[in-house]
Amino acid sequence: LSDTAFLAEATSCRKCGTGLGPQALFCPACGGLVHSDRLQELAAEAEAAEARGDISAALNAWSDARGLLPEGTRQREVIAARKDALSRRLMDQTEQPAAKPEEKGSAGKKAGIGAAILAFLAKFWGVLLTVLGKAKFLLFGLSKLSTMASMLVYAAYAWRVFGWGVGLGWVVCLYIHEMGHVWELRKFGIKAGAPVFIPGFGALVLLKEHPANPKVDARIGLAGPLWGLGASVAAVLVYLATHAEVWLAIGSIAAVINLFNLIPVWQLDGGRGFNALNKQQRWIALGFLVLFFFATHQTTLVLVMLGAGYRVFAHAPEEGDWRTLGLYLFLALVFAMMSPGGVAGAASIR
Ligand SMILES: [Zn+2]
Ligand SMILES: [Zn+2]
């Protein structure tokens, strides 16, 4: 609400004085931009953020500016190109390993693996601290009436299906999954609504603008299952510590819902992930999914395989993304193993 509240203030064109509608972005009489001052401010903000290396802030400023420009204007195209370039820089910044010293011999290799594990834990810890430091962010969805209301309806539904313990855990896991999407959307400066829960389906965040490129689309899509994995693993760890079966049930139900979301079609998370895969990578994904199915006998994987089989023959970009392929397959395998009937889910419900 806060970012559009000031829109109501402009009631007449400052250039020619023509009366303006409440949502007007340009003057119907002289064609002048209603928010030209604010647009200049935002452009300056974006430049300053980029200059100090805060790519995410720059992306968000450009996103705000885009919202103040009428559709079909050249400025919008310029901003889209700018966001594409900035998004690629942000991905390079966060995903390129800083230094890769070449190791010789098995001792060196072992040290290298140890260092890699330490680096991974350090990174994980860093991310965890950042997330905890932004408790306000985690509560963001809860402060939205639409999220809160739909979540309560969903909780009532989940309660009826699985009882209150598992039902509540299920809703929390879904919420964490959605916040993974929201986190990444904010990082790449993409306008989106608050999460909405739909009983019988799950939850979703509606995007108000297209991601800058397929790689960004994939990052946003797979961020949900990645955070969802954190929630599932946390539930299983609590089970291992307490032996209370309700936690195992929560972990494995969350896993199967995440696996379902990896079906690579429509606007499902897996569909977004596949947008960044080229033909070759889609074939590789399909091959591994078949292997995973024979290894885990997880029936949800059949749907994932069918979706992947369809996407192998659908339109694919030339430029692929190996990181997305790796993450996608990792998530599919772990969720298949954790789902009911899988290794970790064996003792849970049904
Ligand atoms: Zn005017
Ligand atoms: Zn999702």
* Cα torsion 293, 295, 297, 298: sign: negative
* Residue 229 predicted with pLDDT over 90: yes
pLDDT bucket at 32, cuts 50 / 70 / 90: confident
DSSP string, 280-322: HHHHHHHHHHHHHHHHH--THHHHHHHHHHHHHHS---SS--H
Beta-carbon contacts of residue 11 (< 8 Å; ≥ 6 apart): 19, 20
For residue 185, what pLDDT is reported? Answer: 92
Mind listing the pLDDT tens digit for each residue in 231-254?
A: 999 999 999 999 888 888 889 888
Q: State the distance from the centre of ligand 2 to the C-alpha of 181, rounded, in angstroms.
A: 7
For residue 71, what pLDDT is reported? Answer: 85
Stretch 58-63: mean pLDDT: 90
For residue 280, what pLDDT is reported? Answer: 95
For residue 26, what pLDDT is reported? Answer: 86
Whether residue 169 contacts residue 255, with contact meaning beta carbons closer than 8 Å, is answered with no
For residue 196, what pLDDT is reported? Answer: 83
Q: State the distance from the centre of ligand 2 to the C-alpha of 149, rounded, in angstroms.
A: 19
* Residue 19 predicted with pLDDT over 70: yes
SS3 91: helix
Stretch 111-116: mean pLDDT: 76
* Residue 141 predicted with pLDDT over 70: no
* Residue 69 predicted with pLDDT over 90: no
Average pLDDT of every residue of the chain: 82
* Residue 128 predicted with pLDDT over 90: no
Residue 44 to residue 216: CA distance in whole angstroms = 24
Virtual torsion, Cα 159, 142, 205, 134, nearest 10 deg: -130
For residue 346, what pLDDT is reported? Answer: 40
Q: Which ligand is nearest to the CA of 179?
A: 2
Mind listing the pLDDT tens digit for each residue in 148-202?
A: 777 777 777 777 777 778 888 888 888 899 989 999 999 999 988 888 888 767 7
Q: Which ligand is nearest to the CA of 228?
A: 2
For residue 48, what pLDDT is reported? Answer: 92
* Residue 314 predicted with pLDDT over 80: yes
Q: State the distance from the centre of ligand 1 to the C-alpha of 22, rounded, in angstroms.
A: 15
Q: State the distance from the centre of ligand 2 to the C-alpha of 283, rounded, in angstroms.
A: 23
The DSSP letter of residue 248 is H
Q: State the distance from the centre of ligand 1 to the C-alpha of 244, rounded, in angstroms.
A: 68
Which of 5-14, 232-241, 290-299, 328-337 comes out lowest in average pLDDT? 5-14
Q: What percent of the chain has pLDDT over 90?
A: 31
CA 191 from centre of chain: 13
| Residue predicted with more confidence, 200 or 62 | 62
Q: State the distance from the centre of ligand 1 to the C-alpha of 12, rounded, in angstroms.
A: 8
Residue 316 to residue 224: CA distance in whole angstroms = 23
Stretch 45-61: mean pLDDT: 90
| Residue predicted with more confidence, 287 or 121 | 287
Stretch 123-133: mean pLDDT: 69
pTM recorded for the entire structure? 0.77
Q: State the distance from the centre of ligand 2 to the C-alpha of 223, rounded, in angstroms.
A: 8
Q: Tell me which range, 182-191, 200-209, 324-333, is most confidently predicted by mean pLDDT.
A: 324-333
For residue 345, what pLDDT is reported? Answer: 42
Whether residue 270 contacts residue 307, with contact meaning beta carbons closer than 8 Å, is answered with yes
| Residue predicted with more confidence, 296 or 126 | 296
Q: Which ligand is nearest to the CA of 28?
A: 1
